[in-house]
């Protein structure tokens, strides 16, 4: 029985055990060390062998019985005795080929009814597939599939005839049995698992898989796409799995399914890439490169474009922590921020704005926050926006739980009763919760109406925490089971919040923890509950690099780590990483408020915050470019140099946009793993010049303590403000870093307009031409190879204003 509270809420409830809590020994074998004590997760997925049951039947047909061409597609039925599978190979758009394996040609993924993960072009590809006698050809422009019928085999080539990928034909044990699951299916007690095997060449490496904090190079790993409350980073569990990889052979591989997708990246066999999905169809796509930006462009055309956040979201976010809060404590924080002149754009309040035990009923705790609307107004008057924490669960102590249960707004168990369980695991003694059913339009409207009041009262943005906890055995309003709904549920949840935020405020910004394929449409995600350790920071960076290679730009993490209290040295080093990330937030289970630390920590963290605001014109311009050009804002080295072996192991640095390189310190001894690409790179503080390609292995390899470098011959816009612009950037300073002889161009994006900049440097003279409204007030020439004797801007001479600066006459 679930205990109820007559008053509608208890501040410190003691929940009775839920009948739906799982035995912690029955965990998913895909993620855990056998014999180790495991954290309890309400939506764990049993291992695949367990789900198939004993003695599954394996069907791998090779003979074709039916072949037909229909427009840009070839349809083949392969048979083996009385069994068969239907295979479709189709051209979807330029450079995009689809391979679909199921019982029938028209079968779609079971998650399609809850959330269509892909949106193929509305117009069919104009080139028809054609038969060639012993096979067929499907031409997708930049890629083509060549299909042989006897024996059946698919190979994909680029437009020059270079092989991108092909099905595996010769990977077996000495006994003759295959090392994986070839094209076909395995049938067990819970249905079929459709599969295919592709060839993995000896020098082929893979990157992506979503926010994966395992080794950056995914070759030799097996991943299962199942959103998890990861309880930290550094393991195979992921808040944001994405069944997508980029291969250094010059293609991308995307699986269209919301059900558990297994991708074996040369782990079971060094010769093969294995795909398997517990769905009615294995529907995968080959995306031609050769460059990662080519692949990611095609990936976003199929899924969703990245959504640009409002400019203020690129400022500093600061949390009051996962700690009890009151209106008085928040307003005291505001006074202290002003007193310490610490630049802040957004204050985040975690769940204690609601009554404990009633999370997340979206009702203010009126004892702790007697005048929330007034508080929000005072914060906004001080130039600070407010973010509130929510999750998609409602505690059984809340009157809103009873209302939602009466109206059928929650997911149910197999008997049609409201499902309740302990999604918080072992660390928070919260009452059991129900899960809002976003497949029910009425439930979504009810949840959004409750959010609307908060947003209209002055809340600027919602932190959409959790969303990973849909158990496999639940039932949804639309008829989906938990297996079909689990991965797409975070997308439904974030979409509901993004939609109502856009209705009220005109932007779709959410701050999300869980996501899945195509989640870049919801703008911003952060890396979840990281440990406050050096290993936690390194794992966080690996997760961010992998997420970037999966098509996401606006990512962040808890500066200093989430769980525990960082050492002063770790906090300062993490601040160098955090304030030079696409988005920046201070948050944790203990205080990350800088003025509550010693003077050395405060000064370091404040200096990094000021540096972020100084760089804001550059970061914003690069953010706009990342959306337009389909290039992640946080760029791993392999994104720019995918065939460079050194880039494959470069998991300790990234480029922030085109021109800045960040190399976070990895441990208390000052070690780095920083790969500098080809060309000259200049230290931000000391202006010392390094020539790549090379690795920097220790902070002592630099001439300053800040591991930030600038690409030579780059144009970096900055300003001196400590806030985001009300309308657009003004008083912009153009930093010209080691300008090269000849002409250099760049486009600088403001909030409302863009400016094309052309720099021509000849024998100490620099001519600057601006085509656009950039409000330029100063030019700084930094780390120049020789003296600068004259600068003109649009034909008008400027005069020196210091050692490196020039201004208008």
pLDDT mean over 484-503:
98
pLDDT at site 17:
32
Which region among 118-122, 287-291, 343-347, 549-553 has the lowest average model confidence (pLDDT)? 118-122
pLDDT at site 45:
83
At residue 785, does pLDDT exceed 90? yes
Query: Alpha helix (H) ranges present in 506-553?
Result: 534-548
At residue 173, does pLDDT exceed 60? yes
Q: How far apart are CA 756 and CA 743, in angstroms?
A: 13
At residue 700, does pLDDT exceed 70? yes
- What are the catalytic residues? 465, 468, 529
At residue 3, does pLDDT exceed 80? no
pLDDT tens per residue across span 566-585 = 999 999 999 999 999 999 99
Quote the Cα angle for 31-35-38, to 5°.
55
At residue 427, does pLDDT exceed 80? no
pLDDT mean over 135-158:
96
pLDDT at site 258:
97
At residue 14, does pLDDT exceed 50? no
Q: How far apart are CA 386 and CA 376, in angstroms?
A: 7
At residue 24, does pLDDT exceed 50? no
At residue 6, does pLDDT exceed 70? no
pLDDT at site 5:
37
At residue 25, does pLDDT exceed 70? no
At residue 27, does pLDDT exceed 90? no
The closest of 66, 31, 91, 90 to 226, measured between CA atoms, is 31
Name residue 277's beta-bridge partners: 194, 261
At residue 16, does pLDDT exceed 50? no
Which region among 39-53, 561-575, 696-710 has the lowest average model confidence (pLDDT)? 39-53
Q: Pairing between strand 555-556 and 523-526?
A: parallel
pLDDT mean over 220-240:
93
pLDDT tens per residue across span 726-747 = 999 999 999 999 999 999 999 9
509 band by pLDDT with thresholds 50, 70 and 90: very high
Task: Express as a percent the part of the chain with pLDDT over 70.
Answer: 95
Average pLDDT, the chain: 93
Which one is the CATH code of 636-709: 2.60.40.1180, 2.40.30.20, 3.40.50.300, 2.40.40.20?
A: 2.60.40.1180
pLDDT mean over 41-48:
82
pLDDT mean over 597-623:
99
pTM of the model: 0.94
The closest of 718, 708, 716, 612 to 662, measured between CA atoms, is 708
pLDDT mean over 342-370:
96
Please say whether the structural domain 311-631 has been given the CATH code 3.20.20.80.
Answer: yes
pLDDT at site 7:
34
Q: How far apart are CA 90 and CA 104, in angstroms?
A: 15
At residue 758, does pLDDT exceed 50? yes
pLDDT at site 430:
82
Q: How far apart are CA 323 and CA 303, in angstroms?
A: 37
């Amino acid at each position: 029985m679930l205990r109820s509270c007559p008053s509608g809420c208890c501040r410190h409830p003691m929940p009775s055990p839920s009948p739906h809590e799982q035995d912690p020994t029955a965990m998913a074998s895909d993620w855990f060390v056998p014999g180790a004590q495991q954290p309890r997760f309400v939506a764990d997925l049993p291992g695949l062998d367990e789900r198939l049951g004993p003695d599954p039947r394996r069907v791998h047909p090779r003979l074709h019985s039916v072949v037909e061409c229909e427009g840009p597609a070839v349809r083949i039925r392969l048979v083996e005795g009385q069994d068969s599978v239907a295979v479709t190979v189709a051209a979807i758009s330029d450079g995009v080929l689809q391979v679909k394996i199921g019982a029938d040609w028209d079968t779609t993924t079971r998650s399609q009814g809850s959330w269509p993960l892909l949106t193929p072009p509305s117009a069919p590809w104009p080139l028809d597939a054609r038969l060639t006698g012993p096979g067929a050809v499907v031409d997708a422009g930049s890629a083509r599939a060549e299909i042989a019928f006897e024996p059946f085999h698919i190979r994909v080539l680029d437009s020059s005839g270079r092989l991108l990928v092909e099905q595996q034909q010769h990977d077996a044990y000495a006994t003759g049995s295959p090392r994986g699951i070839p094209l076909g299916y395995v049938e067990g007690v819970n249905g079929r698992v459709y599969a295919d095997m592709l060839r993995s060449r000896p020098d082929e490496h893979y990157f992506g898989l979503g926010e994966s904090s395992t080794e950056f190079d995914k070759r030799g790993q097996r991943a299962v796409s199942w959103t998890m409350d990861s309880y930290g980073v550094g393991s195979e569990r992921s808040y944001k799995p994405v069944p997508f990889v980029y291969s250094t052979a010059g293609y991308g591989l995307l699986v269209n399914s919301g059900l558990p997708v297994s991708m074996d990246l040369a782990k079971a066999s060094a010769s093969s890439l294995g795909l398997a999905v517990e769905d009615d169809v294995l529907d995968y796509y080959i995306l031609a490169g050769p460059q990662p930006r080519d692949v990611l462009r095609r990936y976003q055309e199929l899924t969703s474009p990245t959504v640009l956040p409002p400019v203020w979201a690129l400022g500093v976010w600061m949390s009051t922590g996962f700690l009890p809060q009151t209106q008085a404590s928040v307003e005291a924080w505001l006074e202290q921020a002003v007193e310490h002149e610490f630049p802040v754009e957004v204050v985040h309040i975690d769940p204690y704005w609601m009554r404990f035990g009633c999370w997340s009923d979206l009702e203010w705790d009126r004892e702790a926050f007697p005048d929330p609307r007034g508080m929000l107004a005072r914060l906004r008057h001080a130039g600070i926006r407010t973010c509130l924490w929510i999750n998609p669960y409602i505690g059984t102590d809340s009157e809103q739980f009873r209302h939602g249960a009466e109206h059928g707004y929650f997911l149910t168990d197999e008997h049609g009763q409201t499902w309740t369980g302990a999604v918080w695991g072992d660390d928070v003694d919260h009452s059991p919760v129900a899960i809002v059913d976003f497949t029910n339009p009425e439930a979504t409207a009810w949840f959004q109406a409750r959010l609307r009041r908060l947003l209209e009262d002055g809340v600027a943005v919602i932190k959409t925490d959790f969303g990973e906890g849909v158990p496999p055995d639940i039932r949804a309003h639309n008829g989906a089971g938990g297996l079909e709904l689990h991965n797409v549920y975070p997308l439904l949840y974030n979409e509901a919040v993004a939609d109502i935020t856009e209705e009220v405020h005109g932007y779709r910004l959410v701050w999300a923890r869980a996501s899945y394929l195509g989640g870049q449409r919801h703008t911003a995600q952060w890396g979840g509950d990281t440990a406050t350790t050096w290993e936690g920071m390194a794992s966080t960076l690996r997760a961010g690099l992998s997420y970037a290679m999966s098509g996401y730009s606006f990512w962040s993490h808890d500066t200093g780590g989430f769980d525990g209290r960082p050492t002063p040295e770790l906090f300062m080093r993490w601040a160098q990483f955090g304030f030079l990330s696409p988005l920046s937030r201070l948050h944790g289970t203990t205080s990350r408020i800088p003025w509550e630390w010693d003077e050395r920590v405060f000064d370091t963290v404040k200096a990094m915050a000021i540096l972020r605001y100084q760089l804001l014109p550059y970061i914003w311009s690069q953010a706009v470019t990342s959306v337009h050009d389909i290039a992640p804002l946080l760029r791993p080295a392999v994104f720019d140099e995918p065939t460079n072996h050194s880039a494959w192991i470069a998991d300790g640095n990234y480029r922030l946009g085109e021109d800045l390189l960040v190399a976070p310190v990895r441990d208390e001894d000052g070690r780095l793993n920083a790969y500098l690409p080809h060309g000259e790179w200049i230290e931000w503080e000391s202006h010392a010049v390094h020539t790549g390609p090379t690795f920097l292995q220790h902070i002592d390899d630099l001439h300053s303590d800040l591991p930030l470098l600038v690409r030579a011959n780059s144009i970096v816009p900055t300003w001196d403000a400590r806030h985001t612009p009300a309308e657009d950037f003004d008083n912009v300073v153009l930093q010209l870093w080691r300008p090269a002889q000849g002409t250099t161009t760049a486009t600088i994006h403001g909030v409302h307009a863009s400016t094309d900049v052309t720099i021509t440097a000849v024998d100490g003279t620099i001519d600057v031409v601006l085509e656009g409204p950039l409000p330029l007030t100063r030019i700084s020439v930094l780390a120049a190879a020789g003296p600068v004797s004259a600068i003109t801007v649009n034909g008008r001479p400027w005069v020196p204003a210091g050692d490196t600066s020039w201004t208008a006459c």
